[in-house]
Chains A and B, each alone.
Chain A
Amino acid sequence: MAQAAQIILGGLLQGSVFALVALGLSLVYRVTGIINLAQGGFCLLGALVYDSFAVQLGWPVPAAAIAAAAATTMFGLALGAASFVPALARLPNSSMLMLSAGLLTVIEGLALILWGSQPYAVPPFSGERPLAFFGVRMPSQGLWIAAAAALVIVATWWLLARTATGKALAACAENPLAARILGVDVARLTLFSFGLTAFIGAVGGIVAAPILSLQFDAGHFFTNTGFIAVAIGGMGSFAGAIAGGLFLGVAEQLAAGYISSLFSNALALGLLLLTLLWRPQGLFVPGRRRRHDVRDEQRLYRAILRVDGRGAALAAVAALALLAALPALLGEGGVQSSLTITLILFIAVLGLDVLMGFAGQVSLGQAAFMAIGAYTAGILATRYGMPPLLGTLAGLALSILCALVLALVTMRLRGAYLALATLTFGLLVDQLAVGLTGITGGPSGLVGIPSFAIGPWTFATPSAMYALVLAVIVALVLALAGAMRSSFGRALQAIRTDQTAAAALGIDVARHKMAAFALSAALASLAGSLYAFDFHFLSPEMVATPRSFEMIAMLVLGGEGTLLGGLLGAAVVTLLPTVFQPLADYKILAEGAILMLAFQYLPAGLLGSFVRLLEPRRGRRAPAAGDAVKALLR
């Protein structure tokens, strides 16, 4: 009994921190409809700045805490004013998501430069001695956490429910366009909620710092848990964020206490998936219903890229010639093997383009299918001596099966919820790859994977593998180009923006979504298998969730819906770390900054911007559609 109380209390404390992060995410989501992945970065910054003031400079706790919260809030406001808020007006949702991921990387890169990579152990506010009530012990920091969380929650509630600012925020959440017409300064309020969010995040980070081991990359941890908590509770719902956070904290502690700490995360994730299936909108639905017969997403859409057939063919042939010539130019060795990996990743990005770029379904779980393909083929080859080709096919079958189940199960989810469900699936697969040591080799990896072979032909040399992957890509790009420029591709594009209107034309939305999911998973799985056979070794982090984000970055950076753009994106993202190697500690910041700037200023991606550059004159000479149509119809 006492043990249970102990565990639940621990869970509630941890949950209070999650609730604060979730509250921040929820506030920004309500006003903008965007999940701001940078939220966890504010927790991290708050905690590290507090450590500097309190430990390094020896300031008293209250002064250090207030200064840290203020500094983080100022920083958040600056970041919001410079990047997030202006970008909102110009970017589609997927780019905004990646922009916020870029902001998180920038924050973590800054933290690495300023605080180094060593972990920080921040002392509790009021001594190490735990408190005890009725036999239940609690770290003294627990009181601070509970008090701070309660204070922030009440203050935020008061702000939202009782002040004019809160009313204006509600108006923005309800209908930004109407709010604007009524004279509400939407941009300023968005910035305000962004700053408020930074403040709430900082408070969470500061009070939680003593019970966590802090490192420059802890921002991801805060963001992930907050995201999961907010989804359990219901996105955009105030009470939901708090309930979701507390619930997640208790569930994780219970699982760790009674089942196994190894699988406590997996259990929390399973729980989340169940919640999503049972209540796709989370436990608390924000009080807002929309009419189905009106287009609900009044957001921006990616503008059209028109590459005429001949231009596209020419570009593709040029790219192919360059890729074929590269090994000869560069010689065998390190560069060639990283080229092969770029191309392999591009295969998975092609799949993502079908799913995200064409069908508009955001997936944060692409790496999971790579993992399924890689592990299936790797395990079958090493343990059972199965020929690589068969192993690859088995991986494909398993991935497609998983994708179909996932697609069926998430059919009702859209936008941020779909992203979250796929993220959860990805994290689950990560956990299994690490946890099922007997099958996957666990963290130490799977060794001795043979080279790829088709019957008697083995692809043992780097050049042979490079040629094989290149050939696969040529075939895939041709096939996808054929499918995407005919009725199948048009149906996917229609679904991307307006499912109701698509269905009204006889397009079977569910079937097309499932097809896109399966196709995307199949390509990821193929890429995973090739990756395993190319590397001869496999460890969980090679195909873990950060890889999913990396692939979205490649896609958005290259240009969604362009097929070939992903190749540019893949090249840039894999080359960036090599280029920035000499920068040492500045590397992460530089990478994050480049990605952030690219997302913000090249919304059409590299390829898209390039195509635009080629046709400025044609664009300018085209008559203003409005006037000409009127003239024509008169």
Chain B
Amino acid sequence: MTAPALEISGLGKSFGGLRAVHDVSFAVPAGSLTALIGPNGAGKSTLFNLVTNLFLPDAGAVRFFGTPLAGMAPHRIAALGLLRTFQTARVFPGMTALDNVLAGAHRHARAHPLAQAFWLPAARREERALRQRASALLDLVGLREFRNLAGTSLPLGAQKLVELCRALMARPRLLLLDEPAAGLNDAETGELAGLLRAVRDSGVTIMVVEHNMGLVMDIADEVVVLDLGRLIAKGSPAEIRRDARVVEAYLGPAAEGVR
């Protein structure tokens, strides 16, 4: 039996007196598409930040395919193949959309900077191949035409897609997506769902934070629900839809908005 892609045990973090994440434990099975949901301020983004060691946890541990991540620098975690996107799209200003996506290839670039400096054939070949793959990725989300525009000049939804491409460029083993559908309309969200399913089917484990319940119920294999920093439910979309605590804590006030 293989280790789960992500194993979170007893994770906790407080800001001042506020318990943003409290004693959260769950596992993300390898190859699954898990959704993390919860009302605003539930601690979803904080959980991502804890997993990637952007914040140091007060308590608990995280394992990535069995490897403990405690105390590991964020760039090392990414080098292991755990990639994430941010809730506020963080494309690099001053770089084109294509260069943004190319930046994601960093953990794969084999050519030494000196080889690049001397324009060695191997380095040029690698660079050409990366460019092709980055263009193809942008093509996949329909942004190929805009590859030479400044990443930050694109609308927010498109920026989130660029960020997604950038993470995909890194060939992740586990992908953490923080509200990838924010800023997309229904049709675009539908295309995103297809893309995420395809990524999952190619063997990448995905955990996605999303407020769009339609999307979550559509694509998730498993749903994890946080409320006020605590894990309140975990199960298949169908189970979650029926779970009384979830309906009360989360879906209750907005129940009519949920199909």
A residues contacting B by CB (< 8 A) are 292-295, 301-304, 306, 478-480, 482-483, 485-488, 490-491, 493-494, 496-498, 500-509, 515, 561, 622-623, 625-626, 628-630, 632-634
Q: Which residue of A lies closest to B15 (CB)?
A: A291
Chain A positions within 8 Å of B83 at CB level: 504-505
Among B103, B104, B117, the residue within 8 A (CB) of A480 is: B117
CA distance A118 to B18 in the complex (A): 64
Interface residues of B in 43-73 (CB under 8 A from A): 45, 49, 52, 54-55, 73
Contacts of B76 in A (CB 8 A): 506
Say whether A491 contacts B154, CB under 8 Å.
Answer: no
Tell me, in angstroms, the Cα distance from A303 to B96 when the chains sit together: 10
**Closest beta carbon of chain A to B110's beta carbon, Å:** 9
Select from chain A the residue with minimum beta-carbon distance to B169: A505
Q: How far, in angstroms, from A491 to B79 measured CA to CA in the complex? A: 14
Instruction: Contact check, A505 vs B103: say whether CB atoms are below 8 A apart.
Output: yes
- The answer to whether B154 and A505 touch across the interface, beta carbons within 8 angstroms, is no
Is A505's CB under 8 angstroms from B166's CB? yes
Chain A min CB distance to B9 (Å): 22
Q: Which residues of B contact A490 (CB under 8 A)?
A: 95, 99, 102-103, 106
| B185 & A487 in contact (Cβ 8 Å cutoff) | no
Take A487-B106, A626-B155 as given contacts and tell me if A294 and B88 are in contact as well, using a CB distance cutoff of 8 Å.
Answer: yes
How many B residues are at the interface, by size bracket? 35 or more
Give Cα A509–Cα B74 distance, bound, in whole angstroms.
Answer: 10
Contacts of A479 in B (CB 8 A): 117-118
Chain B residue contacts of A503, Cβ below 8 A:
73-75, 78
Chain A residues, CB < 8 A from B143 = 629, 632
Cα A14 to Cα B163 in complex, Å, equals 53
- B54 engages A302 (CB within 8 Å): no
In the complex, what residues of B have CB within 8 A of residue A504's CB? Answer: 52, 54, 74-75, 78, 83-84, 86
- B85-105 vs A, Cβ < 8 Å mask (1 yes, 0 no): 010101011111001001111
- Taken together as a complex, chains A and B put the C-alpha atoms of A543 and B199 apart, in Å, by 56
Which residues on A sit within 8 Å (CB–CB) of B36? Answer: none
User: Told that A295-B90, A487-B130 touch, could you supply 16 new A-B pairs with CB distance under 8 A?
Assistant: A292-B54, A293-B55, A302-B94, A491-B106, A497-B93, A498-B90, A502-B92, A502-B103, A506-B78, A507-B103, A625-B146, A629-B143, A629-B158, A632-B142, A633-B157, A633-B184
The answer to whether B94 touches A629, judged by C-beta atoms less than 8 angstroms apart, is: no
Q: Is B239 an interface residue (CB 8 A)?
A: no
Query: 14 A-B residue contacts at CB 8 Å?
Result: A293-B45, A293-B54, A303-B94, A304-B94, A482-B118, A486-B127, A487-B113, A505-B83, A505-B106, A506-B78, A625-B149, A629-B157, A633-B191, A634-B188
Q: Which of A306, A622, A632 has the most CB of B within 10 A?
A: A632
Query: In the bound complex, do residue A488 and residue B116 qualify as a contact, i.e. CB atoms below 8 Å apart?
Result: yes
Give Cα A507–Cα B74 distance, bound, in whole angstroms. Answer: 9
Instruction: Assess the A304–B95 pair: CB atoms within 8 A.
Output: yes
A493 contacts across to B, CB distance below 8 A: 92, 94-95, 99, 103
Residues of A within 8 A of B3 (CB): none
